Amino acid sequence: MIEETATILECEGEYAQIKTERASACGSCASRSACETASLKEEADHAPDVALLALNPINARPGERVVIGFEEDALAKASMAFYAVPLVSFILFALLGQWLFSSEGMAALGAVFGLAIGLLWLRYFSTKTSGDKHYQAVVLRRIDKTEVAPECTIDTDISS
């Protein structure tokens, strides 16, 4: 299982909207001033945060820092689907257009058609797997309970 640290933004039934925390070792590296990766990391720090839905079986509340997990095989399958299928269909249809019509124009047209077919299949795959809990991030455990949002605190005053 691949694990990542996140913060719960809000709860929605059995799901929680989460924001992952960007982490890097660049701040403590002695070579960071001469490193291209460190400069790219600084650019990425200015990118907007991404929120996503994760299954929340531990009932974590907004404000809590948690560890989320992704199944490795599901991540590998989704990555292959998102990267390989459109690329392979692009190349195959380009080769098919070249082979059938012996024309560069038809090869280019075939490539565009292949890319469209790959993207349509990807849309189908995405729709089919969107409800599959195997492809969902899961909240595994809490890191701390110090940042619980006020609307999630329990009133323990029983004197009234």
How many residues would you count in the chain? 160
Mean pLDDT of the chain: 82
* pLDDT class of 135 with cuts at 50, 70, 90: confident
Write the pLDDT tens digit of every residue in 44-53: 566 667 788 8
Q: Which of 60-74, 103-117, 131-145 has the lowest mean pLDDT?
A: 131-145
pLDDT of residue 32: 61
More confident residue, 25 or 133: 133
Q: Which residues pair with 70 in a beta bridge?
A: 2
Res 149 pLDDT > 70: no
**Can you give the residue ranges of every domain in the chain?**
2-152
Phi first, then psi: give them for residue 94, nearest 5 degrees: -65, -45
Is the pTM of the predicted complex or chain greater than 0.85? no
* pLDDT class of 132 with cuts at 50, 70, 90: confident
